[in-house]
Structure 1
Amino acid sequence: MPQFTRDLEMGPVTPHSPGQESVDTLSSTIPPTPALLGANSATALVPPPSSPKPKGRASRMIRFRLWFNTYRKFYTLIVTLNLIGLVLAATGKWQYPRQYTGAFVLGNLQCAILMRNELFGRCLYLVVNTLFAKWPPLWFRLSCTSALQHLGGIHSGCASSGAAWLVFRIVLIASNYQHFPASILTAGVVTCVAIFISITSAFPWVREAHHDVFERYHRLVGWFGLLSTWLFVILGDSYHPATHSWHADGLQIVRQQDFWFAVGMSVFVILPWTTVRKVPVTIEIPSPKVAIIRFERGMQQGLLSRISRDSGFMEYHAFGIISDETLANTTLFVAFKAISHNLLLIAHRVIFGRGNSRLFAGVSNSSKLYKRGIRVCTGTGLGAALSSCLQSPDWHLIWIGSGQEKTFGKTISALIHALPPQQYTLWDSKERGGRPDPMKLIKETYISWGAEVVFITSNFGGNREMMEGCKEEGIPVFGTLWDF
């Protein structure tokens, strides 16, 4: 059995980021839990034994529970309720949505936009963290975190429902085309096409394989859809089908529900862009694989930032933020070579640049709800995880990676080693000659640390393995999002 050395140190577990080292088949047997060993463990490194046979997949019930997560529950609930209303309206059993279809269209779309508004998300996290930190039952706090993490399910459900109501609205107009001018029908069709393009560009296979395409189409076509929505609303509310006449009176438009929904949509779209700032950054390149981007300002833990090298209208890339305190002088991003944007940063060897930054809350921000927890991360997932442990002594870091100090540099290493040794566990698979059994490591640390919850940041395979393992062990866990 190998012994723990100084390269394996103690601390709470960390979540995951894209492009990290895979832990999908982590198999090497690990030593006893670090928390149970002294800080000066034996330094002799014994080669690990041959890897045990990989464990089989979790039960179907566990996999189904992970698949049918809160995101899909929100989506299913919203789409089902809207579908019931749509069927009742289409069959003539409910007349209200036939008369005010625009309100159902824009009400759903406004809610969809609101769920992706970064300022609204920050406010939700602030309210929940302020009101429910530590004292309510654990199941309630876990439910709060799950709901906050999966707001994207409401976003997707409302967007899909709004598109369905819009199709219904166009069908109603087309079926009574003799009572409507062609301009209204044309505006409706253009709006519908824009919304469907925006939705299609957000499909997971587009988003993951062609992220820049997703950003440009989802954002720019979405903005065009908002403009065409305004045209559709103004034309529709200015025309009286019964008299076949136009009424240019602005009061008639202002009195309609869909006008105010359109106002709300516009405000929610524009408001986050008022917070965009151009800030000076410096870039440190500790290895060909990683760029560390720093700017002056401390940040609270659990925040992520979108940064862009252009005007910000074409593309943004989200990174976890590393800051040891809210009043710190500098904040760090860790950028990995796997993303083309980051390749540019590294290839150009940029020493000084300027980029736009926007902050939004991630699931780690809800760590304040828990008395003690573990942050598990692999590779560059450290960027999303480290601040929780730097800013709270109640969170233990587990970081699994290869050539950690060589790849990430002394800056990151110094931040970690400034923590008390019992607060972090580092596993450098290159130095130790193999990867750990992540579930054994998590389970033992969970017990010894007295944790209430585990947050994981890893790649798809590693996230799946650890999430399934934690669910089987009955350990409350939140992993990396692959649905938003």
Structure 2
Amino acid sequence: MLDALSRTVVPPRPALWRRWRALPLFSYYNRLAGLVLLGNGTFLWWWPRIDVQVLSQMVLINLSLAILIRQQYVINALFWLATRVPITWPLRIRRSAAKVYHLGGLHSGAALAATAWFAAMMQAQWVQVEVVASSTLWLGSALLGLLVVMVIMAQPWVRSRFHNAFERVHRFAGWSALGLFWALTLMASSERPTDLLHNGAFWLLGLVSISIVLPWLRLRKVAVEHIRPSSHAVITRFAHTTPFAGSSTAISRHPLLEWHAFANIPAPREAGFRLVISRAGDWTGRFIDALPRHVWVKGITTAGVANVETLFKSVVYVATGSGIGPVMPHVLARKVPIQLIWSTRSPRATYGDALVDEILRAHPQALIWDTAERGKPDLVQLAYGAVQACGAEAVICIANQALTRHVVQELEARGIAAYGAIWDS
């Protein structure tokens, strides 16, 4: 069947005016970010009547949205809600609901708006320097500096090039910013402490603080076992819990410095789960070479993009290399009819006979393309051909960033519902 799919003729992309929704600029992520910024922008009509108190409220509302939308319980709840859409509903509704994983657009839009409102508030306070306490001005200025640095580090080209720095800045600068918000709130209520419980800012900051602290309350060091089929990949087994299919777990060897999330692979009727970790950088390289006996985990298992499969009657999965990790639990769970296309170099030599055989037992029709023998395939062609052959309603692609974006954009340009990670954090 692979040979037949590789001969599929992919139609040319329609005219630009017919496929504008598939362009990256108009992604659901950008639409959600734009919606938040537009909503905030409407308040500019009342700019002459906006005082420092209103500015402070706008900062806290946007800050709360930016943080809470990243909370693991909230993410899981939104995925659960989106996937409640009945499969009998029109495809256009289901394919829109499946874009739930673009919720990071709300985070980005709200974070930008919060920073802008806070800058406006600080400008207004510096204008009234005679009546504003100097401690408030200097703490506020330090807080604004932290927010601006976080916004700069979150820009895609900076985040991708300096990801470790981005992660640490967001963690430590974020904690510092939260502390400064608390300091400013308590200072504002210092003259009348009894009013604090009637202050909305107090309760919003409390909710945000609980959201941030909660994952760390679940921090634990757990024992792990490894199978290293090759120098390129390791299969790590955990026994401390059994997560749901389609979730991910963040692990670390130094919990204050660096975290990496991997897709959980639970097997039906088996306790525990596995992670497939391939050599893709310094951290994973050291992990594979050293094979630690314990790692740190925190938070709760979090839903990922492939969970949207239940919104469709049938799905084509496209995976490359260790991208089989996020796909494999869905292959094993068999909640919906699927067709798997896995492109990787020497799958048995790299990931082991046991893993490949497990996939083929669960899905005998799986199409495994060995790039060592056949070279790199045209995944758009293979995915398009599989959709036509199987009548699938959607394609879910798990590959590297550039390839995922290419496959998703090319298929969506041709009217096929396509989904893949968006690397927004």
Q: TM-score, normalised by structure 1?
A: 0.81
Q: 2:350 aligns with which of 407, 428, 436?
A: 407
Alignment of 1:290-305 (within 5 A): 290-296=233-239, 297-305=241-249
Q: Equivalent residue of 1:288, what SS?
A: coil
Tell me, yes or no, if the aligned pair for 1:389 and 1:396 is still in contact at 8 Å.
Answer: no
Matched, 1:337 2:294: no
Listed one character per residue, the Cα deviations across residues 411-430 of structure 1 (whole Å, up to 9, x for unaligned) are 321221221413x2111121
Tell me, yes or no, if the aligned pair for 2:223 and 2:294 is still in contact at 8 Å.
Answer: yes
- CA positional deviation for 1:314: 1.7
User: What is the match of residue 66 of structure 1?
Assistant: 23
Q: 2:4 aligns with which of 24, 27, 32?
A: 32
Tell me, yes or no, if the aligned pair for 1:198 and 1:219 is still in contact at 8 Å.
Answer: no
- CA positional deviation for 1:133: 4.1
What is the distance in 1 between the residues matched to 2:194 and 2:96? Answer: 44
362-371 or 165-174, larger mean C-alpha shift: 362-371
User: What is the match of residue 127 of structure 1?
Assistant: 81
Unaligned runs of 5+ in 1: 5-29, 34-47, 239-246
What is the distance in 2 between the residues matched to 1:473 and 1:194? Answer: 43
What is the distance in 1 between the residues matched to 2:303 and 2:161? Answer: 25
User: Aligned letter for 1:132?
Assistant: V
User: Aligned letter for 1:299?
Assistant: P
Alignment of 1:362-401 (within 5 A): 362-392=304-334, 394-401=337-344
Tell me, yes or no, if the aligned pair for 1:386 and 1:397 is still in contact at 8 Å.
Answer: no
Q: 2:405 aligns with which of 464, 469, 475?
A: 464
What is the distance in 1 between the residues matched to 2:375 and 2:289? Answer: 30
- Structure with greater contact order relative to length (CA < 8 Å, sep ≥ 6): 1
User: Aligned letter for 1:138?
Assistant: L
Matched, 1:260 2:203: yes
User: What is the match of residue 111 of structure 1?
Assistant: 65
Q: 1:161 aligns with which of 101, 104, 113?
A: 113
Listed one character per residue, the Cα deviations across residues 373-410 of structure 1 (whole Å, up to 9, x for unaligned) are 11111111111111112101522221111111111112
User: What is the match of residue 452 of structure 1?
Assistant: 393
Q: Residues 99 and 435 from structure 1, CA distance in 2 versus in 1: closer, same or farther, beyond 3 angstroms?
A: closer
- CA positional deviation for 1:199: 2.2
Q: 2:89 aligns with which of 129, 132, 136?
A: 136
Alignment of 1:19-418 (within 5 A): 31-33=3-5, 60=16, 62=19, 65-67=22-24, 68-85=26-43, 87-90=44-47, 92=48, 94-95=49-50, 98-129=52-83, 131-146=84-99, 148-238=100-190, 247=191, 249-296=192-239, 297-310=241-254, 312-325=255-268, 327-348=269-290, 350=291, 352-358=293-299, 359-392=301-334, 394-418=337-361
What is the distance in 1 between the residues matched to 2:218 and 2:15? Answer: 46
Q: Residues 368 and 466 from structure 1, CA distance in 2 versus in 1: closer, same or farther, beyond 3 angstroms?
A: same
Listed one character per residue, the Cα deviations across residues 34-71 of structure 1 (whole Å, up to 9, x for unaligned) are xxxxxxxxxxxxxx99xx9x999886554773312011
- CA positional deviation for 1:254: 2.2
Q: Residues 209 and 411 from structure 1, CA distance in 2 versus in 1: closer, same or farther, beyond 3 angstroms?
A: farther
What is the distance in 2 between the residues matched to 1:285 and 1:174? Answer: 60
- CA positional deviation for 1:125: 1.6
User: Aligned letter for 2:179?
Assistant: L
User: Aligned letter for 1:471?
Assistant: E
Larger radius of gyration: 1
User: Aligned letter for 2:140?
Assistant: G
- CA positional deviation for 1:450: 2.5
What is the distance in 2 between the residues matched to 1:476 and 1:55? Answer: 16
What is the distance in 1 between the residues matched to 2:134 and 2:242? Answer: 55
193-202 or 103-112, larger mean C-alpha shift: 193-202
What is the distance in 2 between the residues matched to 1:65 and 1:74? Answer: 15
Tell me, yes or no, if the aligned pair for 2:14 and 2:414 is still in contact at 8 Å.
Answer: no
- CA positional deviation for 1:440: 2.8
Tell me, yes or no, if the aligned pair for 1:377 and 1:400 is still in contact at 8 Å.
Answer: yes
Unaligned runs of 5+ in 2: none
What is the distance in 1 between the residues matched to 2:303 and 2:423? Answer: 16
Q: TM-score, normalised by structure 2?
A: 0.92
User: Aligned letter for 1:464?
Assistant: R
Listed one character per residue, the Cα deviations across residues 316-339 of structure 1 (whole Å, up to 9, x for unaligned) are 1011222222x4233111112122
Q: Residues 407 and 55 from structure 1, CA distance in 2 versus in 1: closer, same or farther, beyond 3 angstroms?
A: farther
User: Aligned letter for 1:32?
Assistant: A
Tell me, yes or no, if the aligned pair for 1:307 and 1:357 is still in contact at 8 Å.
Answer: yes
Tell me, yes or no, if the aligned pair for 1:281 and 1:294 is still in contact at 8 Å.
Answer: yes
Tell me, yes or no, if the aligned pair for 2:276 and 2:322 is still in contact at 8 Å.
Answer: yes
Identity %: 27
Q: Residues 403 and 265 from structure 1, CA distance in 2 versus in 1: closer, same or farther, beyond 3 angstroms?
A: same
- CA positional deviation for 1:121: 0.6
Q: Residues 275 and 145 from structure 1, CA distance in 2 versus in 1: closer, same or farther, beyond 3 angstroms?
A: farther
* CA RMSD after TM alignment: 2.5
What is the distance in 1 between the residues matched to 2:289 and 2:115? Answer: 42
What is the distance in 2 between the residues matched to 1:65 and 1:472? Answer: 5
What is the distance in 2 between the residues matched to 1:469 and 1:160? Answer: 30
Tell me, yes or no, if the aligned pair for 2:215 and 2:298 is still in contact at 8 Å.
Answer: no
Aligned residues: 420
Q: Equivalent residue of 2:396, what SS?
A: strand
